[in-house]
Amino acid sequence: MKGLRVVVAEDSALLREGLRHILADAGHEVVAGAGDAAELLDAVAAHAPDLVVTDVRMPPAFTDEGLAAAVELRRRHPGLPIVVLSHVVGRTYAAELLETATTAVGYLLKDRVADVPQFVAAVERVAGGAVVIDPEVVRRLLAARRDASPLAALTPRETDVLEGMAQGRTNGAIASALRISEISVAKHAGNIFAKLLLPPAADDNRRVLAVLAYLRDRPDGTGLT
């Protein structure tokens, strides 16, 4: 992917600089850094970046200021690719992000930054229009719903395919990871859509709806926020 112009919003100057180096080494440019949500909104207005990377929790209250800014940015700039970083497996955060933007968004745990190739690949998939949910978020949320309908109706292989969808992977990439054919992936995806009672629509939209199905639907007491 050609070099992206990126705005990074992170209140920790050390992590902000680390992200700049990681993205620069991958051929991308951080055109501005922001320490809070207001700075993020101003930086995007000033630089018109190709991508935004933002923390969920930012000053002054360190609750969900970064996420709120991301939602506002998608309202102001429809289609702007945004990657949200979080310390926690946040079902609510991830669901809110997806409910306002069904393309070119990502929700990744900050720990993922340490795996540089995987982090860069996720960022680039989001820049290309994919929806990417952190693999650990996917695993925890699916595990929490294993005994509940309608997700309980999914076979283990269908669950594997849904996990791949949530990570923003194409059918080809899912097929390669699972060592099955793309035709099999497409068949499993169709079964997932049917079992989750998703109406006929563009496959990209149904993929996002399938992810939302378990982000929204979890029992209390799982520890996910």
DSSP for 147-209?
Answer: TSTTGGGS-HHHHHHHHHHHTT--HHHHHHHHTS-HHHHHHHHHHHHHHTTPPS--HHHHHHH
Residues written for the chain: 225
Mean pLDDT over all residues of the chain? 83
CATH assignment at residue 43: 3.40.50.2300
Is 225 part of a structural domain of the chain? no
Same domain, 92 and 147: no
**129-183 confidence digits (pLDDT tens):** 988 888 777 666 656 555 555 777 889 899 889 888 877 788 999 999 999 999 9
Same domain, 83 and 157: no
Q: What would you report as the CA-atom Rg of the chain, rounded to the nearest whole angstrom?
A: 17
Domain that holds residue 60: 5-133
Is 222 part of a structural domain of the chain? no
Q: Between these two residues, 147 and 212, which has the higher pLDDT value?
A: 212
pLDDT for the residue 202: 54
Domain boundary among 97, 114, 133: 133
CATH assignment at residue 170: 1.10.10.10
Q: DSSP string of 7-59?
A: EEE-S-HHHHHHHHHHHHHTT-EEEEEESSHHHHHHHHHHH--SEEEEESS-T
Same domain, 122 and 175: no
Angle at 133 between CA 73 and CA 175, to 5 degrees: 130
pLDDT for the residue 44: 97
Q: In what order do the strands lie in the sheet with 131-133?
A: 29-34, 5-9, 51-55, 82-86, 105-109, 131-133
Domain boundary among 75, 108, 133: 133
**32-84 confidence digits (pLDDT tens):** 999 999 999 999 999 999 999 999 988 888 888 998 899 899 889 989 999 99
Is 50 part of a structural domain of the chain? yes
Domain boundary among 77, 106, 133: 133
Same domain, 22 and 129: yes
Q: How many domains does the chain have?
A: 2
Is 57 part of a structural domain of the chain? yes
Same domain, 157 and 68: no
